[in-house]
């Protein structure tokens, strides 16, 4: 591990000062410390923000939910408001990582986590994300777990977070605080597709800190849930996943929120699926017809062609679970 300095801050002003000087924020550390041990990440200065007052889950004035950036994954998953209003968030969190990690890792850190691409974590391999301009070993290598949507010629790595898929589906907003003040960014704009700069992963400005994720109020009743398909039943990342939320009134779907995970370089919102659900009556034939569009635009690689059909089946199955089997 490379040498680094460590500072623990107790208020946001102190944190922002340290961030502006190039300090790297750390909270649970469950991703960053691993990467530092493997010398994939080599920050010169760590700023421990666990003492900041960002650990609250609250209902907003408009009836949405605000989850502080330092709320632990396990705390968020168990919170009564999260469980009642947005089960899709609780389910996504509970299907992530191990219980020990969920007790340490924070919501802010979870959405900032870096890809599980094995070449990214192998410092002897070419990787544009780790070392811009060095190439991408996954393109010609073993790419079974890689993305089929949102890829570029420079990077095909998936985003590994489950709860980020739920946030994308629900059209959450990321609250940021930086040297220039507060701002909010739609979740689907916060995580960046690789393009020509796969090393740039979030729409963060220098020194900015995530303070919360806000989920908007959605019409009630709202049924929601998260399905994760993986090679083994626990402690594994998604091959495919689907976050679905449906508002059905008078037997008609009035609102539909759908996103997929394990297949995109970012959590993959499915607007074509959503649009084809709204105004329709729930039925098995509807689920099958709209799920067939889930992989529109996919560009599979040599070893991950199976993800196209697996994604369609995952979305169809989760629509059936959330929306019923009529
Ligand atoms: Fe690196 Fe992305 Fe290629 Fe993986 S897919 S080796 S993260 S550039």
Residue at 326 is within a domain: no
Element (H, E) at 211: strand 209-215
CATH number at residue 93: 3.30.465.10
In a shared domain, residues 63 and 207: yes
127 CA: nearest ligand 1 atom: 1
Share of the chain above pLDDT 90, in %: 96
Question: Ligand 1 pocket test: which of 38, 114, 124, 129 has the largest number of ligand atoms within 8 Å of its C-beta?
Answer: 129
| C-alpha 187 – ligand 1 centre gap (Å) | 23
**125 CA closest ligand 1 atom index:** 6
How confident is residue 97, by pLDDT bands cut at 50, 70 and 90? confident
Answer yes or no: do 48 and 61 share one domain: no
Same domain, 75 and 175: yes
Does residue 154 fall inside a structural domain? no
Quote the number of domains for the chain.
2
Residues 4-45: tens digit of each pLDDT? 999 999 999 999 999 999 999 999 999 999 999 999 999 999
Distance 95 CA to ligand 1 centre (A): 25
Q: Does residue 40's CB lie within 6 angstroms of at least one atom of ligand 1?
A: no
Mean pLDDT (whole number) for 59-78: 96
Report the pLDDT averaged over residues 144-170: 98
What pLDDT score was predicted for residue 234? 80
| 84 and 167 together in one domain | yes
- CATH code of 27's domain: 3.30.43.10
* Residue 311 confidence class, pLDDT cut points 50, 70, 90: very high
71 shares its domain with 43: no
Return the residue whose CA atom lies nearest to atom 2 of ligand 1.
155
Distances 258 to 4, 16, 200, 215, 291 between C-alpha atoms, Å: 42, 35, 26, 14, 10
The enclosing H or E element of 323 equals helix 306-323
Contacts of 113 (CB under 8 A, 6+ apart): 31, 160, 161
Ligand 1 atom closest to the Cα of residue 157 is: 5
Q: Identify whether residues 48 and 166 lie together within a single domain.
A: no
Within a domain: residue 128?
no
108 in the same domain as 165: yes
Residue 1 has pLDDT above 90, yes or no: no
- Pair 323, 291: CB distance under 8 Å: no
Tell me: do 166 and 65 sit in the same domain: yes
Question: Tell me: the pLDDT tens digits for 226-263?
Answer: 999 999 888 889 999 999 999 999 999 999 999 999 99
How many A from CA of 155 to the centre of ligand 1?
5
- Does residue 66 sit in the same domain as residue 41? no
Distance of CA 253 from the midpoint of ligand 1 (Å): 39
User: How many degrees, rounded to 5, is the angle at CA 287 between CA 286 and CA 290?
Assistant: 80
- Domain range for residue 75? 57-112+161-215
Protein residue closest via CA to atom 7 of ligand 1: 120
User: Quick one: 48 and 1 in the same domain?
Assistant: yes
Q: Tell me if 108 is assigned to some domain.
A: yes
Which of these three, 52, 72, 93, is where a domain ends? 52
R_g (Cα) of the chain, nearest Å = 19
Query: How many angstroms separate the CA atoms of 283 and 84, rounded?
Result: 25
326 pLDDT more than 80:
no
Region 165-186: mean pLDDT is 97
In a domain? residue 196? yes
Residue 47 maps to a domain:
yes
User: What pLDDT score does 233 carry?
Assistant: 82
Residue 254 half-sphere exposure, CB side, CA atoms within 13 Å?
Answer: 11
Q: Which atom, in ligand 1's list, is nearest to the CA of 156?
A: 5
How confident is the model over 109-138, as a mean pLDDT? Answer: 97
The C-alpha atoms of residue 257 and residue 234 are separated, in whole angstroms, by: 26
> CA–CA distance from 221 to each of 249, 278, 302 (Å)?
8, 15, 43
Per the prediction, the chain carries an average pLDDT of 96
Which of 117, 145, 158 for a ligand 1 pocket mutation test, highest count of atoms within 8 Å of Cβ? 117
Sheet holding 252-261, edge to edge: 223-229, 240-249, 252-261, 268-269
CB 120 less than 6 A from any atom of ligand 1: yes
- How many Å lie between the centroid of ligand 1 and the Cα of residue 302? 15
pLDDT of residue 247: 98
Ligand 1 pocket mutation pick from 113, 137, 152 by most atoms within 8 angstroms of CB:
137
């Amino acid at each position: 591990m490379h040498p680094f300095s460590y500072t623990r801050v107790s208020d946001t002003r102190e944190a922002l000062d340290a961030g502006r000087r190039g300090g790297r924020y750390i909270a649970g550390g469950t991703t960053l410390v691993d990467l530092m041990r493997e010398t994939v990440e080599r920050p010169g200065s760590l700023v421990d923000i666990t003492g900041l007052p960002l650990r609250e889950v609250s209902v907003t004035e408009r009836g949405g939910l605000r989850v502080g950036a330092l709320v632990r994954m396990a705390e968020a998953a168990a919170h009564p408001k999260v469980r009642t209003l947005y089960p899709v968030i609780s389910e996504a969190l509970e299907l992530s990582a191990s219980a020990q990690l969920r007790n340490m890792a924070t919501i802010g850190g979870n959405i900032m986590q870096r890809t599980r691409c094995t070449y990214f974590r192998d410092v002897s391999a070419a990787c544009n994300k780790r070392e811009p301009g060095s190439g991408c070993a996954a393109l010609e290598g073993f790419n079974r777990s890689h993305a089929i949507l949102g890829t570029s010629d420079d990077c095909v790595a998936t985003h590994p977070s489950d709860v980020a898929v739920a946030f994308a589906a629900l059209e959450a907003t990321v609250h940021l605080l930086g040297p220039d003040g507060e701002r909010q960014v739609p979740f689907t704009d916060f995580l960046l597709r690789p393009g020509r700069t796969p090393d740039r992963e979030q729409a963060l400005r220098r020194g900015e800190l995530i303070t919360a994720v806000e989920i908007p109020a959605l019409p009630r009743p709202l049924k929601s849930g998260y399905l994760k398909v993986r090679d083994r039943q626990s402690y594994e990342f998604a091959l495919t996943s689907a976050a679905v939320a449906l508002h059905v009134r008078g037997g008609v779907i009035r609102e539909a929120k759908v996103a997929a995970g394990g297949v995109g370089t970012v959590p993959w919102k499915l607007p074509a699926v959503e649009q084809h659900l709204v105004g329709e009556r729930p039925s098995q034939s509807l689920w099958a017809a709209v799920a067939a569009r889930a992989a529109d635009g996919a560009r599979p690689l040599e070893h991950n062609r199976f993800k196209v059909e697996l994604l369609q089946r995952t979305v169809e199955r989760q629509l059936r679970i959330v929306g019923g089997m009529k």
